Amino acid sequence: MRTIGERSGWTEAIARLDRGWVQVKVPLPFSLRWVNSYIVPEADGFTVIDPGLGTAEAKALWEDVLAGLGIEWKAIKRVLLTHQHPDHYGLAGYVQQKSGCEVWMSRRAHAYARRLWGPGSDFPSALRELYLEHGMPGEVMDSIEANLDSFIARVLPEPQVTYMEAGETIRLGDLNWEMIDAPGHAFGQLCFYQRDIRWMICGDQVLPRITPNVSVVPGEEKDPLAAFLNSLETLKAYEVDYALPGHRDPFEAFRTRIDELIRHHDRRLKEMEELLAQEPQTAFDLCEKLFGARLRENPHNLRFAMSETLAHLYYLEQRGRVRAVRASGSAVVFLADAANGRGNPEA
């Protein structure tokens, strides 16, 4: 048995929100620092949204928070997952094991989680093939693969899942919430909107101060950035007074933040077009130019950076703003046609 004194850290990890909701900042062993979980009081117990990544630190925090708030494990009746990324989904099976609760997520998000971490996953080899094709050196890919492997233990046990889908309504905290398809950051992600109090639970689709990662993922849709930008336009139509994000703190200026994110991608696309107009190059070279070669020391962030670079390049390619030259036996090189006019005075 631990004493009260040992439980002292948990109060800094929580924030009490309106309606009796509690934000729990569940620790992450990477630059994001924490993922937000939300404890929602229900007539028969509690719902937990996105319980976090399955690390010893996260499990210890949950013990402290639940004990501190006087909530027994078995009072957790349901886990809702906004999406399948390991920092949100990882602890779902563990919480289910401890509480016997249901775990709800979208069918598509679940299929992705199973593909990534289920037995016989083809994901690491498909990712290797994609990255090598786009100029990443093999030894850099080795460190990314080792980092990917390290996540498997942090998403087990696998939860038994009940499906919920965009377009349906779900009862949460004694109110009805609309579920909205929010693709691009994670296909299958759901946002939850409550029309009377104008709250939006936005997963990682709209984050304050952080630009949500938009990645090309082998086996998923080819143009995730277009899907992401379209989704932001859809979300902008909602009247939101209070947004509850997956990282950082709840915020109010929802539409302003969406506009900033759209502008960020617009700038990034133009920047990449200009770099390619100066010099044709592979996605990996461009990634290092944009994010810095030091990322090789951080395979987790490098994977995000590489897949994000590819997402922008695919977007530009789909719209004829860049071309990809694919020669057998060598890495794909991207070039901007504008270079012909700008870079070569004889053209």
Residue 279 CB: number of other CB atoms within 10 A?
A: 14
CB of 140 to Zn ion, least distance (A): 23
Q: CA 291, CA 276: separation in Å to the nearest integer?
A: 15
CB of 185 to Zn ion, least distance (A): 6
Task: Determine if the peptide bond prior to 157 is cis (ω within 30°).
Answer: yes
**Pattern 214-253, Zn ion, x by CB under 5 A:** ----------------------------------------
Of 68, 58, 47, 49, nearest in space to 2 by CA = 68
Among 59, 78, 85, 110, binds Zn ion (CB under 5 A): 85
Q: Which stretch binds Zn ion (CB under 5 A): 5-13, 134-142, 199-207, 339-347?
A: 199-207
Q: Which stretch binds Zn ion (CB under 5 A): 83-91, 133-141, 233-241, 335-343?
A: 83-91
Q: Does 50 bind Zn ion (CB under 5 A)?
A: no
Residue closest to Zn ion (Cβ): 85
Q: CA 97, CA 54: separation in Å to the nearest integer?
A: 13
Angle subtended at Cα 340 by Cα 339 and Cα 344, rounded to the nearest 5 degrees: 95
Q: CA 318, CA 232: separation in Å to the nearest integer?
A: 19
Please give the size of the binding site for Zn ion, defined by CB under 5 A: 2
Structure tokens at 188: 């299958």
Among 50, 64, 204, 288, binds Zn ion (CB under 5 A): 204
Q: Which stretch binds Zn ion (CB under 5 A): 30-38, 196-204, 261-269, 339-347?
A: 196-204
For CA atoms 67, 102, 221, 151, give the dihedral sign.
Answer: positive
Q: Which is nearer to Zn ion, 194 or 205 (CB)?
A: 205
CB of 212 to Zn ion, least distance (A): 7
B/e letters for 292-316, b = 16+ CB within 10 Å, e = fewer, are eeebbebbbbbbbbbbbbbbbbbbb
CB of 83 to Zn ion, least distance (A): 6
CB of 305 to Zn ion, least distance (A): 15
CB of 81 to Zn ion, least distance (A): 11
> Which residues here bind Zn ion, judged by CB under 5 A?
85, 204
